Amino acid sequence: GESERPKGFKSPFRFLSIFKWEERKGWDVLLSAYFTEFDRSAGVELVLKTRPFYSSSDFDKLIDEFAESRGFPVRNERP
C-alpha cells in the first residue's frame, strides 16, 4: 500500500524491460510475475521496449491473448 513506500516515493513506479519478443527471452514469465504480483491500486507500470521476432508486432493483442489464456484480468482491470 501507499504507507509501505519509501518517503518521497513518486507514483507510478516504472519497471522497464527491453528485449526482442521471442519465447526464450521470458516475456511470458515477466508478464505472469507482474500480473500476479500487482493490481491496479499498486501504483506501478511495466514499460516494454520490444520488437517482433517472427511474430506479430501488435504487442497489445499478444499481451491481451496471453493474459486471457492464463486467466489474468482484462486490460482495463490490470495494472
pLDDT digits (tens, 9 = 90+) for 24-73: 999 999 999 999 999 988 889 999 999 888 888 899 999 999 999 999 99
Give yes or no for a contact between 17 and 46, defined as CB atoms under 8 angstroms apart.
yes
Closest CA relative to residue 59, chosen from 15, 14, 19: 19
Q: 31, exposed or middle or buried, with CB in 10 Å at 0-12, 13-18, 19+?
A: buried
Q: Which residues pair with 21 in a beta bridge?
A: 52
**Quick check: pTM over 0.95?**
no
3-state class (DSSP) for residue 43: coil
Rg of the chain (C-alpha set): 14
